[in-house]
Amino acid sequence: MSDTAAHHDEDAARLAALGYTSEFKRDMSLWANFSLGFTYLSPVVGIYSLFGLLLPVAGPPMIWSLVIVGIGQFLVAQVFSEVVAQYPIAGGVYPWARRLWGRRWAWMAGWIYLAALLSTIASVVYGAGPYLSFVLGVEPSTAATIACALGLIVFATFINLAGTRVLALAAIAGFAAEIVGALAVGAWLLIAHREQTLSIFTNSFGAGAGSYVPAFLAASLLGIYQYYGFEACGDVAEEVPNPGKRIPTSMRRTIYIGGAAAIFVTMALLLSISDFGAVISGEDTDPVGTVLVNAFGETGTRVVFIVILLSFISCAMSLQAAASRLTYSYARDDMIFGSRILKKFSQTRHVPPYAMLGAALIPAAIVIGSQWMPGKALTLIISFGSLGIYVAFQMVVFAALRARVKGWRPSGAFTLGSWGMPVTVAALVYGVSAIFVLVKYTAAAEGAWYERYSLGVSAVVVIAVGLVYMLVSRPHERSDAPHGDAIDAELNPLEHQRRARQIENL
């Protein structure tokens, strides 16, 4: 038996001891798993989507939000790494919350996370619309943006339906595009078109008149939107050989490599802007386009935009992969309406096709619905996606903290040891603070009432619908899959012995 086959047998035995038999193929290498998380986090997509919207709000000091949020999310990634190392199950947030706490808590965490993922897919393809319009020579408009976004959803879905191996190759290609878009373009801007000194990073140029703190916190959406995606490495846990070791490594690399790239892109763009006054006043409404056209000319900018589009496409594919695995994980446990269809699996492509289709149709509906609030659409969609993901993240972090207090000690291939408790507490404090900032400072300050309160209202609606469905339909009672056993296994040595016997028998 080859080493690869032996590892696959060990992974299958480990999963069986956790209560599951996987239909996925373990075709995703460490490099591909990292690329999946990196392209989901996507420094190019995150920065190029929001740079022009948020620079007038707080000016160049907004770059520091990338540093602050990066540190906070690294703590969250450390907590997730411990959990996925012990529970390498497809679906990420949902099965982690299920094992740490129980079925109800897991159902709500998964529900909120799924809604946020689908919104984030919509935000990514919507944000790509203007770039695709430029490349195609189409006059930018709401209709053109929506049409381009829908086209990208269709393309990403076809790639995802091709299977894990194709997804892995696409993720690596997307990573290469990110590197070109982030490093090559940024380096050229710094070498040949630098207009400013480093002192601009503490100069707001008049943005945030009055108290600057609210302006900086509002612009911190740049960092908050940027630093998630690392959890996607764990969403595909059943497609990665030796996941208990490889996925924590991929998560950490996603944070510090992706974060460094995002900071570099932002720094290069800021140092290449010649007139901050025009940006802050609203005279220059597209500072990214202005910088790139000045640096590369119209033809060169079109080439750069093509590279940027590849990043958007790979990001959308990674998000779809995460959403489909979460949906499949839900359905496999009969925890969601339509489970009979959503848990169907293609034995030729080794993907859940109907779960994948749902990860295309719902974002498409969100994109189409955005035409009724075109001025705020991108910011509102991004804000809700970010808020939902942060809430779901903190439900897992809180579940991990609760489990630790009750006696859980992580037993996977990666643990924080004595640092576990302080890191978990710090991650929770950071996450709750980020949620507060999102709700208080990134909602629309002007416009109709439904724009001003849409972020909070949409979050309440999603949570309320989930709670009502859970209470009425009681989906959490349909499955006898293991739940809440992180604490039980720690406190009951017989459980460890039972699992060991299971592995030996396999």
DSSP per-residue string spanning 265-311: HHHHHHHT-S-HHHHHHTS-S-HHHHHHHHHHHHHHHHHHHHHHHHH
Contact 274, 293 (CB under 8 A): no
Question: Counting beta carbons within 10 angstroms of the beta carbon of residue 313, is it exposed (0 to 12), middle (13 to 18) or buried (19 or more)?
Answer: buried
Residue 81 forms part of a structural domain: yes
**Which residue has tokens 């079109």?**
302
* Per-residue tokens: 168: 């892995």
pLDDT for position 503: 41
**In this structure, is residue 498 part of a structural domain?**
no
Cβ atoms < 10 Å from Cβ of 389:
23
Q: Which residues of 199-235 are buried (b: 16+ CB within 10 A; e: fewer)?
A: ebbeebbebbeeeeeebbbbbbbbbbbbbbbbbbbbb
Query: What's the structural domain count of the chain?
Result: 1
Q: How far apart are CA 463 and CA 316, in angstroms?
A: 24
Residue pair 225/387 in contact (Cβ under 8 Å)? The answer is: no
Place of tokens 């070791």: 245
Q: Is residue 506 part of a domain?
A: no
Report the C-alpha dihedral over residues 35, 38, 40, 46, rounded to 10 degrees.
-150
Q: Nearest to residue 119, comparing CAs of 1, 209, 225, 206?
A: 225
In three-state secondary structure terms, 230 is: coil
Q: Model pTM?
A: 0.89
Q: Which domain holds residue 51?
A: 3-488
Q: What DSSP designation does 140 have?
A: P
| Residue at 470 is within a domain | yes
- For residues 272 and 194, the answer to whether their CB atoms sit within 8 Å is yes
- Distance, in Å, from the CA atom of 228 to the CA atom of 217, rounded to the nearest integer, reads 18
Whether 501 maps to a domain, the answer reads no
Q: So what's the pLDDT on residue 285? A: 86
Residue 315 lies in a domain: yes
Tokens of 192: 């040949």
pLDDT < 70 positions in the chain: 1-8, 373-383, 442-454, 488-506
Using alpha carbons only, what angle is made at residue 158 by residues 156 and 163, rounded to the nearest 5 degrees? 100
Confirm whether 116 is domain-assigned. Answer: yes
Q: Are 28 and 169 in contact (CB under 8 A)?
A: no
**Three-state DSSP class for 505?**
helix
CATH number at residue 318: 1.20.1740.10
What's the one-letter identity of residue 414?
A: F
In a domain, 445, yes or no: yes
What's residue 215's pLDDT?
A: 86
